[in-house]
Amino acid sequence: MFAVTAARIDANDPLAGMELGERPDPVAPDGWVTVTVKAAALNHHDVWTLRGVGISADRLPIVLGCDAAGLDPDRNEVIIHAVIGDPDAGGGDETLDPRRSLLSERHDGTFAEKVAVPRRNLVPKPAALSFEEAACLPTAYLTAYRMLFEKSGVQPGATILVQGAGGGVATALIVLGRAAGYRIWATSRGEAKRERAVKLGADQAFPAGARLPERVDVVMESVGQATWAHSVRSLKPGGRIVICGATSGDAPPAELTRIFFTQLSVIGSTMGTRDQLGRLARFCEQTGARPVIDWALPLENARDGFAAMIAGDLFGKVVFAC
């Protein structure tokens, strides 16, 4: 089968270690099934893998890709949950299983014509979503869903600031947050991206680091070092930062004094459960919310999609059709 593989790690030139070509078909062990991939979505995680973040060289070569939608062996339309873990080992939440991994970390991922996954990781794809839209849900949209509805601690009507509006997680936060009735403010480095954020449903969009008209209830962080101080300064006393990523680096000034003095909370968030992925799919079906796809292209052209993500040129998701 055709697949996109991480063959070598290169921290400075991630595309140098990526190979496109034939790989053996997957073999599904007991309890696993092989899914025929119809569409797969790119995440920053795939770039981190090529840079050697979160994976060691002894795991290579490995097929890249966390996210996909496709057909199970009975030709049912399915979405693949990317977290390979045991809910019982995590107190009912597979993301808390100490041995959990994401597809493409320990097992071959989704940037291929076929992928083997545990049967429990299949979630029905609503007919209302295209394969391309459904492929966006398992990582960026599930992460946004958990950040908003499990971790934020605020109810619809509250004001939520989303840092780095153009990213996959950030656009997901705008789309899902708007559909649920939050007032969403966003920041972005680019004016065109700020305009698109407002078109997408953000109430207002600001240049990165700008002073806001008033302080917010919650900040959603995936940018890290470049926006951290602004996130801390933008919160009301008692407010909350929910953080899922640190694309720009993870050594910002900690802002400890402001955090204790204004009694802020910093809450980490990673992915979500299989059951939350099922509810997210239903949320999209019921509200009409749909993933924002910047660019859909054939898997054979994956290199171009990776290059656009590395350059930070995107607004929303890159999806590969198989």
Residues 292-311 that bind ligand NAP (CB under 6 A): 309
Name the residue among 79, 47, 4 with its Cα closest to residue 322: 4
The binder of ligand NAP chosen from 90, 124, 190, 209 (CB under 6 A): 190
Instruction: Report residue 270: phi and psi, to 5°.
Output: -140, 120
Best CA proximity match to 222, nearest among 200, 204, 203, 244: 244
Binding mask 255-294 for ligand NAP (x = CB under 6 A): ---------------xx-----------------------
Residues 6+ apart with CB under 8 A from 12: none
232 scored as a contact of ligand NAP (CB under 6 A): no
Min dist. Cβ of residue 197 to ligand NAP (A): 8
- Name which of 268, 221, 270 is nearest 246 in CA terms: 221
Q: Does 140 bind ligand NAP (CB under 6 A)?
A: yes
Rule CB under 6 A: choose which of 168, 177, 239, 252 binds ligand NAP. 168
Residue number, 26 or 294, with CB nearest to ligand NAP: 294
Q: Is residue 226 involved in binding ligand NAP (CB under 6 A)?
A: yes
DSSP state of 125: P
Q: Which stretch binds ligand NAP (CB under 6 A): 4-12, 161-169, 279-287, 298-306?
A: 161-169
Contact 274, 120 (CB under 8 A): yes
If one asks whether residue 252 binds ligand NAP (CB under 6 A), the answer comes out as no
**Token output for 129:** 């979503």
Instruction: Compute how many residues bind ligand NAP; rule: CB under 6 A.
Output: 31
Please report whether residue 136 would count as binding ligand NAP according to CB under 6 A: no
Amino acid residing at 225: Q
Q: Which residue is nearest to ligand NAP (CB)?
A: 245
Measure Cα distances from 63 to 101, 159, 209, 304 in Å: 14, 40, 38, 17
Per CB under 6 A, does 247 bind ligand NAP?
yes
- Which two tokens mark 215? 């302080």
- Burial of 52 per CB tally in 10 Å (0-12, 13-18, 19+): middle
Indicate the residue among 168 and 239 with the shorter CB distance to ligand NAP.
168
Q: Which of 110, 152, 222, 231 binds ligand NAP (CB under 6 A)?
A: 222
Burial class of residue 239 (count of CB atoms within 10 Å of its CB; 0-12, 13-18, 19+): buried
Q: Which of 139, 152, 159, 276 binds ligand NAP (CB under 6 A)?
A: 139
Binding site for ligand NAP (CB under 6 A): 43-45, 48, 139-140, 143, 164-169, 188-190, 193, 208, 222-223, 226, 244-248, 270-271, 309, 312, 314
